[in-house]
Amino acid sequence: MSQIEHHPNQETILSYAAGSLPAALAIVVGCHLQYCPACRVSVNAGEALGADLMMELSPQTLSTRARESVLAQLDMDLREVAEVSQSRVLEAAENASVNVGAPEAIPRLLHQFLQEDSFDALPWKKTLAPGLKQIIINCDEGDVRLLRIAAGKKMPVHSHRGSEITMILRGGYSDSLGKFNAGDVADLDSATEHQPVADSDEDCICLAGMDAPLAFRGWLARLMQPIVGM
């Protein structure tokens, strides 16, 4: 894997460390952490800062009603606790091994959702956009998609109604923000409009997490959006 040049922004890292990042975005950040020692250090620093702030809080006595409410929450059905949540994403990311020597491998955090060992073995489904295939990953908080852009092909021009974090897993693409290679992350908000173009020599496979649908510029892309689901 080439040297990583694009990382999640600091606000995203701190939200991830605090456990407040929506699961769709946290999955992408967790995969990036498998390959990026610098961001792992930042997450650890954020967790330590949060722990220090907690230690400085003055303890408060709970009323009987508040104490009963807390105990009731602790007794919630274990089946509900087992649902995909931010805590599960963080735990899986922490247990993921660093595997920088195998860029073709599916990141361990992502593997638990896909149950395959290689990108080429996945059941890719065509979208209505030429040269674009996808796999939808079930997530309770936001939208997670594995995208495969054919070599030399373009994504439709789009902006974002919310936040989007995309990590390149294989190949690369270029857009108005620069060149993104395997391991790089594009951390985008509603102020960004771009059109990723896959490298000409290899399909670009990337993992995209969104907390709101994309906003396509062209009328045809907007017309297809309800069908494609992005």
Instruction: Give the separation between CA 43 and CA 187, rounded to whole angstroms.
Output: 16
* Tokens linked to 188: 């985008």
Q: Tell me what percent of the residues of the chain surpass a pLDDT of 90.
A: 30
Find where tokens 């994403």 sit: 89
* pLDDT confidence band for 210 (50 / 70 / 90): confident
Strands in 197-198's sheet, in edge-to-edge order, are: 178-181, 172-175, 197-198
CB 6 within 8 A of CB 184: yes
Whether 46 shows a pLDDT value over 90: the answer reads no
Average pLDDT of every residue of the chain: 76
pLDDT at 165: 93
CB 211 within 8 A of CB 163: yes
Q: What is the pLDDT of residues 18-32, one digit of tens each?
A: 888 999 999 999 999
Residues 6+ apart with CB under 8 A from 172: 179, 180, 181, 182, 184, 198, 199, 202, 204
DSSP string for residues in 91-130: HHHHHPPP-TT-TTBPPHHHHHHH--SBGGGS--EE-SST
Instruction: Give the separation between CA 153 and CA 94, rounded to whole angstroms.
Output: 35
What value does the mean pLDDT take over residues 167-173?
94
Quote the pTM value: 0.71
Where do the H-state alpha helices sit in the chain? 10-18, 23-35, 37-56, 64-74, 78-81, 86-95, 108-114, 219-228
CATH tag for 117-228 (out of 1.10.10.60, 2.60.120.10, 2.60.40.10, 3.40.50.300): 2.60.120.10
Instruction: Give the separation between CA 83 and CA 97, rounded to whole angstroms.
Output: 23
* pLDDT confidence band for 193 (50 / 70 / 90): confident
Q: Strand pairing partners for 105?
A: 118
Q: How many CB atoms lie within 10 A of CB 181?
A: 20
pLDDT at 18: 86
CATH tag for 10-95 (out of 1.10.287, 1.10.150, 1.10.10, 1.10.405): 1.10.10
Domain limits, the chain: 10-95, 117-228
Residues 6+ apart with CB under 8 A from 181: 2, 5, 168, 172
Q: What is the pLDDT of residues 104-119, one digit of tens each?
A: 578 888 888 887 888 9
